[in-house]
Amino acid sequence: MVIKDFLIREIFDSRGQSTVEVGISTKDGLAFYSSVPSGKSRGSKEAAVLDFKSASSIKNIKKLSAVKGQNFASVKSFDDFLLKLDGTKNKKALGGNVMLGFSMSFARAKAFEAGEELSEFLHKEFFKDIPLKKEWSPVIFSNLINGGEHAENNLDIQEYMVLVDTSKGVKNSVKKLIYFYDSLGDLLKKKFRIPGILPIGDEGGYSLDFKDNFEPMVVLSDLIKKNGLAGSFRLGLDAAASSFYSGNRYIFGGRKLTTEKLADTYLSAFKKFPMLYSIEDPFSESDPEGFCSVLSRVKGNMLVGDDLTVTNSSLVEKYASIGAINGVIIKPNQAGTVSEAASAILSARLRGVKTVISHRSGETEDVFIISLGKASDSYGLKIGSPTRERMLKFNELLRI
């Protein structure tokens, strides 16, 4: 596959903030485009993000022009070329966002050349040893109540998610989720006496002040029971705890907690809410001991690394091997290329760590992650509330 030309265009994400779209053209006159989302609660080891001005500077374009006219046999060889061209540890020269845009567009071009669906192509390219299912039925991680940095309310926890089992049919499950999301809205309107539209956070979940960090769990558990969904809906949290960690303490519910105290808080939440299955980033990325202390004391629950592992195969290996995580978030833009994201997935699978392919809080219309999830038969798919721009990912899931 030879790249004839490319462009880097400024577009805006779901928060109206600047991000990049990368287009590449081939000698047959075809063009392939990909756009890159943006995170707000970011891990410190994520690939660097260049703003549009630097991304499209004469210097950067000149450097990137080295991809033109070259023949790359695989996504991996293309990505390796980009990595060499960048030459830095965290992709700050070319920009991890720019590199990912190239990498996804190249994968799309290759899939087209092979006459394959993107998921089929990615499967052959990276995940040959994993059986490719005709219908992928991931657990959908849907964030229905937003807090933390994603909302303007008093919740320290960033995301209160329902985990929807789709094994009995994806479309029906999505329909149930939409119904559940709407009935949650009705309930919250009554409970908080809000006559008009409810305020929502960055990922489409409702954003209100609650009595404490666990009141949303009571509301969600009760509603799941009331709607007879206890068999197919569970609960999950993304604490994004780096955002409330300061000076070796967690500022949680207005109190300063030690790692041990926060661990106890989570352990009692698991007891109090039997539907609670997973907690993502329960502790700061600089506090892996916290993860270990909780994971060693629970059975059948999932502790998920996100800021801790930043879609990096060595970090996944490191934290899986010390017993800090048994689940991991995969966000291609944390890694900066498709092949590095794929290798983080493989690293997780090798160690029995469940992979959850995830969006970012600032999203674009790009639905690449859905194909990546199917290609790797990932356990979960985290794509926000079934509303507004988030709906694009749900619809792509129905398509593939």
Query: Which residues are at the interface with ligand 2PG (CB under 6 A)?
Result: 39-42, 159, 203, 238, 240, 306, 329, 358, 360-361
Closest Cα partner for 78 from 93, 68, 90, 88?
68
User: How many CA atoms lie within 13 Å of 179's alpha carbon, on the beta-carbon side?
Assistant: 14
CB neighbour burial string for 92-126, b if at least 16 within 10 angstroms, e if fewer: ebbbbbbbbbbbbbbbbbbbbeeeeebbbbbbebb
Which residues lie below 8 Å from residue 116, measured CB to CB, with a gap of 6+? 124
| Contacting residue, 125, 238, 285, 363, with Mg ion by CB under 5 A | 238
Choose the contact partner of 13 out of ligand 2PG, Mg ion, none; CB within 5 to 8 A by kind.
none
What single DSSP character describes residue 45? T
Q: Please tell me whether residue 125 binds Mg ion under the rule CB under 5 A.
A: no
306 binds Mg ion (CB under 5 A): yes
Shortest Å distance, C-beta 279 to Mg ion: 10
Identity of residue 251? I
Instruction: Select the binding partner of residue 39 from ligand 2PG, Mg ion, none (C-beta < 5 to 8 A, by kind).
Output: ligand 2PG
CB of 15 to Mg ion, least distance (A): 16
Q: Between residues 343 and 361, which has the closer beta carbon with respect to ligand 2PG?
A: 361
d(CA 92, CA 302): 33
| Residue 336 dihedral angles phi and psi, to the nearest 5° | 105, -10
Is 273 exposed, middle or buried, given 0-12, 13-18 or 19+ CB atoms closer than 10 A? middle
End-to-end CA distance of the chain: 25
396: annotated active-site residue: no
Q: Which is catalytic among the residues 21, 125, 159, 203? A: 203
Closer CB to ligand 2PG, 12 or 192, in the complex: 12
| Shortest Cβ 123–Mg ion spacing (Å) | 26
Choice among 76, 176, 331, 393 that is catalytic: 331
For residue 360, the partner it binds in Mg ion, ligand 2PG, none, with Cβ less than 5 to 8 A by kind, is ligand 2PG
Amino acid at 377: D
Shortest distance in whole angstroms from residue 383 CB to ligand 2PG: 9
Contact stretch for Mg ion (CB under 5 A) within 130-138, 172-180, 207-215, 298-306: 298-306
Would you state the structure tokens that stand for residue 53, as one six-digit string? 């001005």
203 belongs to the catalytic site: yes
Residue of minimal Cβ distance to Mg ion: 306
**Neighbouring residues of 15: CB distance < 8 A, sequence distance ≥ 6:** 38, 40, 202, 361, 362
The least distance separating Mg ion from the CB of residue 385, rounded to whole angstroms, comes to 15
C-alpha count within 13 angstroms, C-beta hemisphere, residue 188: 25
Give whichever of 232 and 243 is closer to ligand 2PG, judged by the CB atom.
243
In angstroms, the CA 45 to CA 295 distance is 23
DSSP 29: S
Nearer to Mg ion, 239 or 372 (CB): 239
* Closer residue to ligand 2PG, CB minimum distance, 127 or 160: 160
Of 17 and 314, which CB lies nearer to ligand 2PG in the complex structure? 17
Decide if 177 contacts 164 (C-beta within 8 A).
Answer: yes
Shortest Å distance, C-beta 395 to ligand 2PG: 19
Q: Which residues bind Mg ion (CB under 5 A)?
A: 238, 280, 306
Active site residues: 203, 331
